[in-house]
């Protein structure tokens, strides 16, 4: 196809998850022509693909929602404290209907190529079905956890049973009733799916390499009183959420009282460090105050992120809890995380996770003692046994943050290939742009605080920043914006410096690319918190887009 045949548009957006849907709406509101391209057959992104049993959000649903429309806030009612995947998908489908965004989205289509063409200052974008677009702005709303990562065991293709990855679950129902099922992986997806699969399967075998720590979610139905109180106070709730480190206000039980609590000006961060409490006090405090209240205690005690004494105290409690809850000491030992610190990896919240291992139909294979050698026709072979399965579920994570972007052949100014530029790790200025790729924006990706935050809040902040920026360009008669190299270098360094004192920068997790063989080990997100990040983005605009070249 020739360039002359390309459809000309103002903006091309890749992805129709929470970010892509809002971008599509926002650009249209601004009078721009927009074409969004989405690989799935409907909107939803993460919530379209991750349909595995037990999938739900671990940010309170009343906050994991758009704030841009007051009417939308009033008309939508969440059923549970942590919404299950089908309900979140229904919500985003409702948003797509309500704002009529589907007409600008090309579904079942992937962007495979995007080249910046200096002559004409446009992005030439090609899809997998050969369509060509010429866009002034190219926006990657591709998600951070959207490229499933499969392990590379020998003979995987030989297995004749059902085979699933949690991040690419079929849209048709999967029934595990009466079946022998294997789950490989015990991060967030494994921890959510294992208790639900165990209820259906005849036999569930969990292959554990290392576990994340998890605490009870305390999920519950939301009462009409609570919902009304939230709706009545939404503007203040949203405003205050943006003032918190992770963009989440409701870390305590969702009672009507807590709406009042969270809106009061009581500082949420504890005056004492967790490490200053004795072992017994930590135990008591966790049991009395924090169990079942989500991950609020991590925000209340920032020393959990960096202090060895604190970490030891906390892990003493958490490990004891595992020994108490899991009857079989062998299983308990396999469930104790091997990473040296609680905060090395993303903490998880669960429903009945440890208790599930007391069921007669649930077994553990600790692959540290009994490594997987290969798959075979009927199942999985370890160095000690052959295990036959009807279905194998890989909850083995994602090529995070850069995976989806690097899958596209993106070429910027002077033929620079993005994948090559990012060979030693992603480089962005504020997570928004990267030097030599003019008019290409990224939403909530590497260099932004998104993955440590309420993702929807982080997305809204980015979409609104980008949309205001493009409006500014239009008003000023400018056509090109690009991140300056020195500001990008400074920001990349800043992201690394902020993370350096924290355990998470040293742990082996997807935050540093440690889960993908050959991926450079770099701490990819910004962990300085939403308020600092918002202040920096606002300051950049106030000072005339410092760090960007605008022409």
Question: Can you give the binding site for ligand N01, defined by CB under 6 A?
Answer: 57-58, 145, 151, 166, 184-190, 192, 207, 209-210, 346, 367, 395-398, 510, 515
Contacts of 67 (CB under 8 A, 6+ apart): 73, 234, 238, 457, 460
Which of 402, 439 has the CB closer to ligand N01? 402
CB of 402 to ligand N01, least distance (A): 14
Name the β-bridge partners of 14.
Answer: 37, 140
Q: Least distance to ligand N01 from the beta carbon of 212, Å?
A: 6
The dihedral through the CA atoms of 454, 312, 328, 387 has a sign that is positive
Geometric angle at alpha carbon 418, from 488 and 46, rounded to 5° = 90
- Write down the number of H helices and E strands in the chain: 17, 20
Q: Give the residue with the Cβ less far from ligand N01, 121 or 369.
A: 369
Task: For the CB of residue 141, give the shortest distance to ligand N01 in the complex, in Å.
Answer: 17
Asked if 514 contacts 508 with a C-beta cutoff of 8 angstroms, the reply is: yes
Report the residue number, 398 or 441, with the smaller CB distance to ligand N01. 398
Residue 6 vs 156, nearer CB to ligand N01: 156
The closest alpha carbon to 535, from 243, 283, 256, belongs to 243
**CA separation for the pair 161, 144 (Å, rounded):** 30
Closest CB to ligand N01 among 99 and 511? Answer: 511
Q: DSSP alpha helices (H): ranges in 201-347?
A: 224-242, 256-263, 279-285, 296-300, 308-325, 329-335
Tell me the torsion sign for CA atoms 421, 424, 429, 430: positive
β partners of residue 180? 203
What length does the chain have?
551
CB 326, min distance to ligand N01, A:
17
Question: Would you say 56 or 313 has its CB closer to ligand N01?
Answer: 56
Q: Which is nearer to ligand N01, 246 or 438 (CB)?
A: 246
Give the span between the Cα atoms of 219 and 240, in whole angstroms. 23
Shortest separation between residue 439's beta carbon and ligand N01, angstroms = 30
Contact call for residues 473 and 481 (beta carbons, < 8 A): yes
- Residue 123 CB, nearest approach to ligand N01 (Å): 30
Q: Which residue, 90 or 283, is less far from ligand N01 as judged by CB?
A: 90
Pairwise CA distance, residues 437 & 8, whole Å: 19
Determine the Cα–Cα distance for residues 46 and 140; give it in Å rounded to an integer. 15
- Under a CB-based contact definition with an 8 Å cutoff, are residues 195 and 54 in contact? yes
Which of 524, 431, 407 has its CA nearest to residue 483?
431
Spatial distance between the Cα atoms of 399 and 519, rounded to a whole number of angstroms: 9
Per DSSP, what are the bridge partners of residue 549? 482
Query: Minimal distance in Å, beta carbon 351 to ligand N01?
Result: 11
- First CA to last CA distance, the chain: 30
DSSP for 393-433 reads: EE---B-TTTHHHHTSEEE-GGG-BHHHHTTTS---BTTTB
Q: Which is nearer to ligand N01, 261 or 508 (CB)?
A: 508
Nearer to ligand N01, 354 or 510 (CB): 510
**Nearest position to ligand N01, beta carbon:** 187
Q: Name the minimum Å distance from CB 454 to ligand N01.
A: 10
Is 17 strand, coil or helix?
Answer: coil
Least distance from ligand N01 to the Cβ atom of residue 207, Å: 5
Residue whose CB is less far from ligand N01, 40 or 294:
294
Rg (CA), the chain: 24
Q: How far is the CB of 376 from ligand N01 (least distance, A)?
A: 16
Residue 58 or 460: the one with the smaller Cβ distance to ligand N01 is 58
- Closest separation between CB of residue 298 and ligand N01, Å? 14
Q: How far is the CB of 56 from ligand N01 (least distance, A)?
A: 6
């Amino acid at each position: 196809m020739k360039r002359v045949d390309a459809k000309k548009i103002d903006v091309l957006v890749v992805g129709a998850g929470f970010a892509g849907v809002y971008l599509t709406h926002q650009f249209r509101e601004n009078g721009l022509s927009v074409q969004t391209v989405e690989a799935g057959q409907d909107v939803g992104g993460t919530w379209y693909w991750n349909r595995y049993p037990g999938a739900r959000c671990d940010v309170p649903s009343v906050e994991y929602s758009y704030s841009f429309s007051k009417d939308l806030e009033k008309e939508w009612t969440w059923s549970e404290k942590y919404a299950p995947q089908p309900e979140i998908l229904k919500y985003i489908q409702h948003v797509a209907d309500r704002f009529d965004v589907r007409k600008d989205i090309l579904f079942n289509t992937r962007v495979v190529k995007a080249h910046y063409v200096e002559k004409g200052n446009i992005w030439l974008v090609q899809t997998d079905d050969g369509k060509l677009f010429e866009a002034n702005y190219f926006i990657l709303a591709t998600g951070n956890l959207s490229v499933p990562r499969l392990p590379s065991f020998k003979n995987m293709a030989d297995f004749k049973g059902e085979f699933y990855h949690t991040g690419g679950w079929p849209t048709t129902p999967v029934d595990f009733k009466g079946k022998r099922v294997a789950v490989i992986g015990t991060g967030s997806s494994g921890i959510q799916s294992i208790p639900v699969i165990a209820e259906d399967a005849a036999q569930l075998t969990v292959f554990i390499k290392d576990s994340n720590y998890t605490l009870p979610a305390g999920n519950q139905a939301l009462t009409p009183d609570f919902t009304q109180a939230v709706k009545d106070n939404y503007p203040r709730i949203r405003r205050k959420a943006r003032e918190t480190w992770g963009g989440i206000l409701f870390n305590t039980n969702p009672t009507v009282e807590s709406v009042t609590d969270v809106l009061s000006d009581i500082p949420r961060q504890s005056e004492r460090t967790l490490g200053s409490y004795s072992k017994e006090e930590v135990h008591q405090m966790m049991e009395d105050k924090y169990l079942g209240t989500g991950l609020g205690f991590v925000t209340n005690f920032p020393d959990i992120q960096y202090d060895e004494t604190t970490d030891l105290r906390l892990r003493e409690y958490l490990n004891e809890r595992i020994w108490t809850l899991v009857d079989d000491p062998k299983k308990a030992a396999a469930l104790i995380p091997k990473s040296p610190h609680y905060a090395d990896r993303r903490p998880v919240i669960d429903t009945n996770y440890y208790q599930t291992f007391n069921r007669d139909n649930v077994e553990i294979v600790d692959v540290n003692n009994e490594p997987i050698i290969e798959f075979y026709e009927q199942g999985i072979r370890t160095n000690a046994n052959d295990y036959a399965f009807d279905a194998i579920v890989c909850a083995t994570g994602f090529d995070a943050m850069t995976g989806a972007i690097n899958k596209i052949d993106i070429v910027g100014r002077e033929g620079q290939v993005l994948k090559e530029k990012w060979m030693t790790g992603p480089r962005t200025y504020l997570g928004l742009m990267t030097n030599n790729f003019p008019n290409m924006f990224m939403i909530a990706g590497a260099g932004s605080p998104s993955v440590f935050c309420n993702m929807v809040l982080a997305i809204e902040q980015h979409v609104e920043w980008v949309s205001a920026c493009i409006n500014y360009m239009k008003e000023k008669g400018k056509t090109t914006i690009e991140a300056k190299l020195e500001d990008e270098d400074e920001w990349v360094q800043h992201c690394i410096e902020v993370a350096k004192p924290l355990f998470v920068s040293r742990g082996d997790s997807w935050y540093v690319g440690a889960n993908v063989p050959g991926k450079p080990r770099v701490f990819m997100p910004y962990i300085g918190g939403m308020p600092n990040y918002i202040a920096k983005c606002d300051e950049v605009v106030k000072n005339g887009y410092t760090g960007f070249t605008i022409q």
